[in-house]
A and B are shown apart, each in its own frame.
Chain A
């Protein structure tokens, strides 16, 4: 078909967590600009299988930008060149024929590569297990409207809660810091009265777990906000710092 593109891909290949990885070069031929980036990868993988080679492993699931599973570092950017878009919603019309595209996994010591472009993000799980919840048992709760919450706070809590946990913030940060992710969680609960009771313990435990996981420190470069597909704001980080200081020093 006319208008279709030929591309060169430089893809990180790594057999397993402990194996040595390296870039390999592949040709992606006759790619329609209407394809999503992951569909282009599907095509390349089909060709690899047909040629008797191992296809490229990559994480993906919903393919509509909400599950947070996809995680490619494309041409030096987490989730590729567009702002506010996950890899699965990136389409090939954002590239031009003849281009070389470099595709890498998220790079962070806390996110070890499992295979090719698949990384282990369970560090995020452990951070949330450390305190990312309100301790209420099923059934033992008041009527939903018994707790009025200002629309402003509810809306802001929603914006923090919109994080999809993809890890792009860590990938984009020059220090591999997880501050944006953790602060979004802390903020959601800090903004709501439901979260108030455990406010102090929550921030202390979550930050402590974050530190144990080996993420870097925040240099306030704000790359995380710029690359976040859900455009979570760094004001969350300031809020978490505040919460942390309050918990450490004033209680």
Chain B
């Protein structure tokens, strides 16, 4: 199969408009004859569900939480970008497009990113109309803040809870449609398979997480908005329930997986405190403005940070990057922290942390000024660690918090399975190899509010307007395979818990496919994962039965999928013999230790095709053409 991005030709600024005009439409009276399933109700899913229901389609939504509002979009802190140019500081659609593409280290499609920048302005309008309480200035107009990777102030925000407010907005739009009956919302339901009929996505198999019943749901199109798969690393800033299952099972049914190895680390997270830690908490990147990052000069220096004299401290970012210092981009800050710890100079009980020291800032600005800027974060840090960051330096370490990879989609957001779409973090699209701050919210809502509602009609217009039966052999077979897998998980009755397997997998991923990767490590990692997967299927212990609320069973299925995904991520990292964005291959770096991109050989999207159990996946390439902008190497020295 050849990959066709379906990206329209013509001038950049006209592509989307022309494309919209060329898309087929569904007659308003006919829309009610089409059913659409949406899995996942974060920003992308909720906005898509509401918008499609408003158009007249029959929508069914599914989420694993007890309410659509709890999807992990809710945890996004900083803000959402939009090229409104309300600040008169030179922003434009083109500049947002350019910043996003460059920030992604030129591994995204020009056409998609330009469209994203174009619709960004509509998103803000939409959210304000829904009653999202964005921060405002005294004149009553919207406030903006500046964010990483941009020289303009284009980020709209609602204190540190922008994701929450945007999701509640989309959720409220969803609620309105639930009230009218256009959306049927299934909560505490998990999608366990896509059902294919005649080569097209025609429904899903879902498990009611309360009763354990396996259900069949049919539709004319299925949209996956299930977010990222970072939890393959176990300790991340993701919600505990975030998983790859929906997109992975779609992948196994024929949807190609795009750039699985592109993951992003956030440098300022609160480090691991012990073996039982379940979650890493992010502290807004803004702390790097006033905090200085350092490690002891000597290896294994166990003194308290206050007792280490100035001369024996290494402010390594300031040393290596004198002009950007502590404000280098996320990927670099993360990688260097790891290097220091690898050298044995990490701090804290685990040795996996570096200091973020505010004492200079406190001396310079006074404690009250520092408190007014970072009070919330300091309190949160104290709450989690029990240490007072006003007195002793914070300890920080990078953590996984976003995956740029995901299901491969064309310009219409359709995967390689006809009728199966992927939106938001679940698809691979707009961020290339690295995502800029405040762009995740933008992409999720762009897909759901302003892209999918247009593009899905183009597909549905060509589909028969009769209800899809759930009694077809395909549904029966899909349901059976789901039930079989659940039964298998329950029947192994081994000695190791799901929790242990997930932690072990996470550790392998972190060590072999984390912030820095190399050929040998990846090859070794693949072997370890294979072995762990074998062990999983022979030694997993899942208590309870299938016909009840069984959280271990849910998790076991997800870990089973992570165990397959992990290997694919390593395969992908192994084939990409270059360093770009969040993907750093130690063999490919400049003499100064910076990422070395290879545009001649790797300016493509790696789209992986599943070939069956224990068969090597096949990689397809979608070449990335750069018609409109010139690529350059990043430098922060």
Residues of A near any B CB (own CB < 8 A) = 15-16, 32-36, 38-40, 42-43, 46, 48-50, 52-55, 57, 59-64, 66-69, 85, 88-89, 91, 93, 114-115, 118, 120-122, 124-125, 128-139, 141-145, 147-151, 154-155, 157-158, 161-162, 164-165, 188-189, 192, 194-195
Question: What 9 pairs across the A-B complex have the smallest Cβ distances?
Answer: A148-B140, A141-B129, A133-B172, A63-B279, A158-B133, A144-B128, A138-B51, A34-B273, A157-B133
Closest to A121 in B: B66
Query: 18 A-B contacts, Cβ less than 8 Å apart?
Result: A16-B548, A34-B386, A52-B543, A55-B543, A61-B72, A62-B72, A66-B164, A68-B67, A68-B69, A91-B386, A138-B449, A138-B450, A139-B126, A139-B450, A151-B140, A155-B136, A162-B164, A194-B130
Given the interface contacts A115-B548, A195-B131, does A133 sit within 8 Å of B125 by beta carbon? Answer: no
Given the interface contacts A66-B164, A67-B75, does A85 sit within 8 Å of B383 by beta carbon? Answer: yes
B-side contacts of A157, CB under 8 Å: 131, 133
A-side contacts of B240, CB under 8 Å: 60-63
* Docked-complex contact B129 and A54, CB < 8 angstroms: no
* Docked-complex contact B543 and A143, CB < 8 angstroms: no
Given contacts A132-B175, A158-B133, A161-B133, 9 further A-B contacts (CB under 8 A): A38-B278, A39-B276, A57-B549, A61-B65, A67-B74, A151-B137, A158-B135, A158-B158, A189-B131
B277 within 8 A of A: yes
Given the interface contacts A145-B86, A161-B165, A194-B128, does A46 sit within 8 Å of B499 by beta carbon? Answer: yes
Other-chain residue from B161, B176, B500 in contact with A66 (beta carbon distance below 8 A): B161
B-side contacts of A192, CB under 8 Å: 131, 133
A interface footprint on B438-454 (CB within 8 Å = 1, 0 otherwise) = 00000000000110010
* Docked-complex contact B131 and A134, CB < 8 angstroms: yes
The complex places the Cα of A12 from the Cα of B129 at a distance, in Å, of 44
A-side contacts of B497, CB under 8 Å: 46, 49-50
* Docked-complex contact B386 and A93, CB < 8 angstroms: yes
A-side contacts of B386, CB under 8 Å: 33-34, 91, 93
B-side contacts of A155, CB under 8 Å: 133, 136
B-side contacts of A46, CB under 8 Å: 497, 499-500
* Docked-complex contact A61 and B173, CB < 8 angstroms: no
Closest to B549 in A: A115
* Docked-complex contact A142 and B67, CB < 8 angstroms: no
B138 within 8 A of A: yes
B-side contacts of A88, CB under 8 Å: 279
* Docked-complex contact B274 and A133, CB < 8 angstroms: no
Given the interface contacts A55-B543, A161-B168, does A142 sit within 8 Å of B549 by beta carbon? Answer: no
Other-chain residue from A16, A64, A150 in contact with B279 (beta carbon distance below 8 A): A64
Closest-CB distance, B321 to chain A (whole angstroms): 30
A-side contacts of B65, CB under 8 Å: 61, 67, 69
* Docked-complex contact B136 and A142, CB < 8 angstroms: no
Q: List B residues 132-171 near A (Cβ within 8 Å).
A: 133-142, 158-159, 161, 164-165, 168, 171
The complex places the Cα of A89 from the Cα of B508 at a distance, in Å, of 28
Closest to B128 in A: A144
B122 within 8 A of A: yes
* Docked-complex contact A133 and B276, CB < 8 angstroms: no
Other-chain residue from A63, A89, A130, A138 in contact with B50 (beta carbon distance below 8 A): A138
A-side contacts of B543, CB under 8 Å: 48-49, 52-55
The complex places the Cα of A12 from the Cα of B279 at a distance, in Å, of 25
Q: List B residues 67-96 near A (Cβ within 8 Å).
A: 67, 69-70, 72, 74-75, 84, 86
The complex places the Cα of A151 from the Cα of B158 at a distance, in Å, of 12
* Docked-complex contact B67 and A35, CB < 8 angstroms: no
Other-chain residue from B142, B176, B541, B552 in contact with A133 (beta carbon distance below 8 A): B176
* Docked-complex contact A42 and B499, CB < 8 angstroms: yes
A-side contacts of B551, CB under 8 Å: 55, 57
A-side contacts of B544, CB under 8 Å: 54
A-side contacts of B67, CB under 8 Å: 68, 121-122, 124-125, 165
A interface footprint on B40-71 (CB within 8 Å = 1, 0 otherwise) = 00000001001100100000000001110110
Residues of B near any A CB (own CB < 8 A) = 47, 50-51, 54, 65-67, 69-70, 72, 74-75, 84, 86, 122, 124-131, 133-142, 158-159, 161, 164-165, 168, 171-173, 175-176, 178-179, 185, 187, 210, 237, 239-241, 273-274, 276-279, 281-282, 380, 383-386, 449-450, 453, 497, 499-500, 541, 543-544, 548-549, 551-552
A-side contacts of B168, CB under 8 Å: 161
Given the interface contacts A32-B273, A118-B549, does A128 sit within 8 Å of B278 by beta carbon? Answer: no
Given the interface contacts A54-B544, A151-B136, A161-B165, does A68 sit within 8 Å of B172 by beta carbon? Answer: no
Closest-CB distance, B60 to chain A (whole angstroms): 15
The complex places the Cα of A103 from the Cα of B168 at a distance, in Å, of 30
B-side contacts of A161, CB under 8 Å: 133, 158, 165, 168
B-side contacts of A133, CB under 8 Å: 130-131, 172-173, 175-176
* Docked-complex contact A62 and B66, CB < 8 angstroms: no
Given the interface contacts A68-B70, A141-B125, does A136 sit within 8 Å of B130 by beta carbon? Answer: yes
A-side contacts of B450, CB under 8 Å: 138-139
B-side contacts of A137, CB under 8 Å: 54
A-side contacts of B179, CB under 8 Å: 129-131
* Docked-complex contact A34 and B385, CB < 8 angstroms: yes
B-side contacts of A69, CB under 8 Å: 65-66, 70
The complex places the Cα of A131 from the Cα of B384 at a distance, in Å, of 38
Given the interface contacts A120-B66, A133-B172, A133-B173, does A138 sit within 8 Å of B552 by beta carbon? Answer: no
A-side contacts of B384, CB under 8 Å: 36, 89, 91
B-side contacts of A67, CB under 8 Å: 65, 70, 72, 74-75, 239
Closest-CB distance, A181 to chain B (whole angstroms): 12
The complex places the Cα of A128 from the Cα of B499 at a distance, in Å, of 36
B-side contacts of A60, CB under 8 Å: 240
* Docked-complex contact B75 and A66, CB < 8 angstroms: yes
Closest to A131 in B: B179
The complex places the Cα of A39 from the Cα of B187 at a distance, in Å, of 25
The complex places the Cα of A35 from the Cα of B370 at a distance, in Å, of 28
The complex places the Cα of A125 from the Cα of B69 at a distance, in Å, of 9
A-side contacts of B176, CB under 8 Å: 129, 133, 135
B-side contacts of A91, CB under 8 Å: 383-384, 386
Closest to B273 in A: A34
Closest-CB distance, B406 to chain A (whole angstroms): 20
The complex places the Cα of A124 from the Cα of B383 at a distance, in Å, of 29
* Docked-complex contact A125 and B139, CB < 8 angstroms: no
B-side contacts of A122, CB under 8 Å: 66-67, 187
B-side contacts of A115, CB under 8 Å: 210, 548-549
B-side contacts of A39, CB under 8 Å: 276-278
Closest-CB distance, B375 to chain A (whole angstroms): 13
Closest-CB distance, B502 to chain A (whole angstroms): 11
Other-chain residue from A34, A62, A134 in contact with B274 (beta carbon distance below 8 A): A34
Closest-CB distance, B348 to chain A (whole angstroms): 11
A-side contacts of B122, CB under 8 Å: 139
Closest-CB distance, A154 to chain B (whole angstroms): 4
* Docked-complex contact A145 and B276, CB < 8 angstroms: no
Closest to A161 in B: B133
